[in-house]
Amino acid sequence: MFHFTAIVTCLAILFYFLTSIQVAKARAAFGVKAPATTGHPDFERVFRVQMNTLEWMPIFLPSLWLFAVYVSDPFAAALGIVWIVGRILYLTGYTQAAEKRSRGFGIQAMVCGVLWLGALGGILWRLIHP
Amino acid sequence: MFHFTAIVTCLAILFYFLTSIQVAKARAAFGVKAPATTGHPDFERVFRVQMNTLEWMPIFLPSLWLFAVYVSDPFAAALGIVWIVGRILYLTGYTQAAEKRSRGFGIQAMVCGVLWLGALGGILWRLIHP
Amino acid sequence: MFHFTAIVTCLAILFYFLTSIQVAKARAAFGVKAPATTGHPDFERVFRVQMNTLEWMPIFLPSLWLFAVYVSDPFAAALGIVWIVGRILYLTGYTQAAEKRSRGFGIQAMVCGVLWLGALGGILWRLIHP
């Protein structure tokens, strides 16, 4: 079973959900009414945090689970925690200024790279050693 | 096996696909040519229905499946049907006016909350009672 | 096990990741700074390639895996490869002109239709023949 990866999946969903709450708050704070998604740069950066997190979910979640299945459940979960931390740094940085988004972005991208490479390596290993 | 959840997943994908068909129709009806995604408020609301459904897919689908695996397949599927109904109400409401999107949105959000909490509870239960 | 589908999932994630690299390059080439996502039609088409690929990921990946589980792993993987090829044609076409996106789009949409129908058929078959 993959209990640790399952918990981290729940936490990643929670974080992602919180980025959309930030967008709702920023809509009210900067007077950007739905369906508009532009109109104030401070709103647009908060909106981009949610969108970018959404954009990375189909990279993160499948890589996380393939890594968990083909390599290790606790190792996948540990990497998933680092991903969430990177995402939190990205959120706090980008909300302040567009230039401050790089560090958190780099961390979460690196984690996804490790998960993806580990998963691919694990799959190929199993194909070769059935 | 998780046959009921699998069927509801197919239905959720079908509904989500239909929201993108609505966008294609709205492009033609309101003269908003690709790659533009703004230009007419009636188009923008239809576009936001698709985008918001997309935004919730990484919340709904993993929560649904973790709930199915850790709690119950038919119960997950039943909640999934309620989610789709909430999404249909959201679509029909938002297409009319931005203010009419709340009820359907609330239903689908509540379903996701139940799925998420149930999944997390189920995982923690299994960790404690191996 | 579903080794072939797992590999194709890694390849699909890689392709999707490359569409976001194209967006970063187009930001630099056409002077569209984050968080803006509009401002130059050549940038906007590249951005829409990434967004549209994102939009199809929740259709493609679940359909692919349900097909793999309920029908066939190598057949799912083969269809997944055709999907990626369709996506590459969509990318190269749309980057040139909005009108040139149709062929690749049609191929990847058809593959998703086959995966979805096959998955649904497979699930119903198993329900009827337990």
What are the CA-CA distances from residue B61 to residues A13, A70, B67, C100 (Å)? Answer: 10, 22, 10, 33
pLDDT level of residue C36 (50, 70, 90 thresholds): confident
For residue B35 the two structure tokens come to 């790659």
Angle at CA of residue A108, ends B20 and A65, nearest 5°: 70
Q: Which residues touch C96 (CB under 8 Å, ≥6 apart)?
A: none
The structure's pTM equals 0.96
Neighbours of chain A (3+ CB pairs under 8 A): B, C
- How confident is the model over B23-60, as pLDDT tens digits? 999 999 999 987 888 889 899 999 999 999 999 999 99
Pairwise CB contact (< 8 Å): A6 & B66: yes
User: What residues 38-97 of chain A have any CB closer than 8 A to a CB of chain C?
Assistant: 38, 41, 44-45, 47-48, 54-55, 58-59, 62-63, 66, 69-70
Q: Across the A/B interface, how many CB contacts are shorter than 8 Å?
A: 51
Q: Does C114 touch chain B (CB under 8 A)?
A: no
- How confident is the model over C90-125, as pLDDT tens digits? 999 999 998 999 999 999 999 999 999 999 999 999
- How confident is the model over A41-90, as pLDDT tens digits? 899 999 999 999 999 999 999 999 999 999 999 999 999 999 999 999 99
Report the distance separating Cα C33 and Cα A55, nearest Å. 18
pLDDT level of residue C46 (50, 70, 90 thresholds): very high
Pairwise CB contact (< 8 Å): B55 & A50: yes
How much is the ipTM here? 0.94
* Interface test mutation site (partner C, options B3, B8, B13, B83, max chain C beta carbons within 10 A): B13
Residue type, B42: D
Candidate from C62, C98, C123 with C-beta closest to B35: C98
Are A119 and A66 contacting, i.e. CB atoms less than 8 angstroms apart?
Answer: yes
- How confident is the model over A69-81, as pLDDT tens digits? 999 999 999 999 9
What is the per-residue pLDDT for A15?
A: 98
Q: Which residues touch A122 (CB under 8 Å, ≥6 apart)?
A: A66, A67, A69, A70, A71
